[in-house]
Amino acid sequence: MHVGLLKETAVRERRVALVPDSVARLIKAGDSVTVERGAGAAAWFADEAYLAAGAILGDARDAAAADIVCKVQRPTDAELSAFTRPTVLIALVGRDPAATPETLAARGVTLLALERVPRSTRAQAMDVLSSQATVAGYKAALMGASSLPRFLPMLTTAAGSLTPAKALILGAGVAGLQAIATSRRLGAVVTGFDVRAAAAEEVLSLGAKFLAPEAIAADAATAGGYAKELADDQQQRVLAAIGGAMAQADLVISTAAIPGKAAPRLITRAMVETMKPGSVIVDVSAETGGNCELTQPGETVVHHGVTIVGPLNLPSTMSMHASQMFSRNVQTLVDLLRKDGKVVLDMNDDIVKVMCLNPPQTGNAQ
């Protein structure tokens, strides 16, 4: 198979979909790889490293002429002009409605959307949502720590004793659990919250407290383990539980999300106004509108003495390791598509079937 790697062009996107180590593994498996020049530069992977791994360097058209083309963010409609022959594209589709199935089909591009990877044991190694959420949760805890005007750990020094910071983590999925683990490692006293019962057990297993077990909704999770939108009365119970804890917290990291929907609103203006001056909210859900009603996506604002950070594309801020993890996910997916050295889109495979945005009309193989 011929695999192509395209460079990212979106603002704030520093990741690359395949790192040299994955390129070497693909070549070992019998593939050839064409890398667009400079593709890995923003993640600190130089062209020379790709050459050393056995890749060929080229321009976007050369890389897009492959059987499988890998990218982090799907190409814009304009960038699709680089695609001159039928290909399978592996990328995140994002929330932007551009690159409709028709536009892709006109270019002969079959898109495997990385956000659609099933949350199953078999697909775990291809799950970019998990790998990138791990990065986001870690970085959110660091941002919180560096935005606070105080230490996270308890300190006993000749200059006096300092109490540990109290951190409240809202949403205990992959990002939230990583934020809990990281802020605990930094010495904070951590409390977590989620509406799913399974998440409560995970919070406790990390040594954090769980806020308000009574606010867990028995029917909060879908069969796939994701949260659902809450009924009004349940939402009120959640807000009441969180509201009481906000006034005590020095650091709040909110990661609550519902797939395909705007982020649930968990932090109201009134709650922010109960917080202590100097406290910090890091709203990891800023990208989908924010869990806090005062979050400005991509900005840091101060309201009533509370710093509210609304970061966008956190994984990209740790481009090297985020790319390394993303790349291993993509490489595993490429391995899944290789059958006797050829690309086969098996629409009976539960991973391929779910991820394929626009299945080819002509049967299983291409």
**Interface with ligand NAD (CB under 6 A):** 119-121, 124, 127, 129-130, 133, 170-176, 193-196, 198-199, 225-227, 230, 238, 255-259, 264, 266
- In the complex with ligand NAD, which residue's Cβ is closer, 70 or 220? 220
Q: Quick one: 46 or 204, whose CB is closer to ligand NAD?
A: 204
Is residue 124 part of the annotated active site? The answer reads yes
Least Cα distance to 283 among 316, 243, 263, 310 occurs for 310
Decide if 138 is catalytic. Answer: no
323 is a catalytic site residue:
no
Q: What is the total residue count of the chain?
A: 366
- Cα–Cα distance list, 131 to 122, 135, 138, 310 (Å): 15, 7, 11, 20
* Catalytic residue of the set 73, 130, 316, 327: 130
CB of 39 to ligand NAD, least distance (A): 27
3-state secondary structure of 53: coil
Q: Closest separation between CB of residue 102 and ligand NAD, Å?
A: 29
Q: Radius of gyration (Cα) for the chain, nearest Å?
A: 22
Amino acid at 247: A
CB of residue 177 to ligand NAD, shortest distance in Å: 8
Tell me if 69 sits within 8 A of 51, measured CB to CB: no
Give min distance, CB of 322 to ligand NAD, in A: 16
Name the residue whose CB lies closest to ligand NAD: 173
The DSSP H or E segment spanning 111 is strand 109-113
Q: Which of 31, 50, 67, 127 is catalytic?
A: 127
Residue 37 or 265: the one with the smaller Cβ distance to ligand NAD is 265
Is the CB of 8 or the CB of 194 nearer to ligand NAD? Answer: 194
Q: Which residue in 226, 335, 346, 366 is the catalytic one?
A: 226
Among the listed residues 73, 8, 75, the one whose alpha carbon sits nearest the alpha carbon of residue 43: 8
Is 322 in contact with 316 (CB distance < 8 Å)? yes
Q: Is 150 a catalytic residue?
A: no
Task: Look at residues 199, 189, 182 and name the one whose alpha carbon lies nearest to residue 245.
Answer: 189
- Token pair of 241, please? 């539980």
**For ligand NAD, which is the closer residue by CB, 145 or 174?**
174
Does 119 qualify as catalytic in the annotation? yes
Q: Which of 37, 61, 119, 150 is catalytic?
A: 119
CB of 242 vs ligand NAD, minimal distance in Å: 8
* Nearer to ligand NAD among residue 20 and residue 137 (C-beta): 137
Q: How far is the CB of 260 from ligand NAD (least distance, A)?
A: 9
| Nearby residues of 302 by Cβ (< 8 Å), 6 or more positions away | 308
Catalytic residue among 124, 147, 235, 296: 124
> What is the widest separation between alpha-carbon atoms in the chain?
75
Burial of 17 (0-12, 13-18, 19+ CB in 10 A): buried
Catalytic residues: 119, 124, 127, 130, 226
